[in-house]
Amino acid sequence: MEKIDSVLFYYIEKAIKTYRQFAQRELKNAGLPITVDQWLTLNYLHLNPQITQKELAEAVFKDTASITRIIELLVKAKYIKRNVHKEDRRKSNLTITNSGLQIIESASLIVENYRNKALKGIGIAKEEHVKMVMKTIINNCQ
């Protein structure tokens, strides 16, 4: 039987978990009352204001129940506002509030800094190579 730490996917999973814990710590240390998942959701919504909730869930790798909970937390925190869709009352439009825009602005610098810390010493060529490898794995698994 092979040792678990001889498997590439062990390191991929460990890197992801370690990075997410690091990112959450950095947000908390900066005094930002937001989780990594909330940040990803809020920022993606900011960059894609017309996105549907289903598309948003797919973009941030969440199931529909999880994205619904995240959105509800962002609404309660007054970072986004939910409005009924004009043509289909079963749908809603999500808009970012002024508080949400302030969190995005504050968190953007923190996120950029912790991403740079995490990639320190990697270099563009290695980063591009890792992206290519990850894309190949994704394509092989779809």
pLDDT digits (tens, 9 = 90+) for 36-66: 999 999 999 999 998 988 999 999 999 999 9
pLDDT digits (tens, 9 = 90+) for 64-77: 999 999 999 999 99
Higher pLDDT, 64 or 1: 64
Kindly indicate the confidence band of residue 83, based on its pLDDT and cuts at 50, 70 and 90: confident
Kindly indicate the confidence band of residue 90, based on its pLDDT and cuts at 50, 70 and 90: low
Q: Where are the domains of the chain?
A: 4-141
Q: What is the CATH number of domain 4-141?
A: 1.10.10.10
Question: Which pTM value belongs to this model?
Answer: 0.86
- Among 117, 131, 106, 118, which Cα is nearest to 39's? 106
Strand partners, 96: 80
Kindly indicate the confidence band of residue 133, based on its pLDDT and cuts at 50, 70 and 90: very high
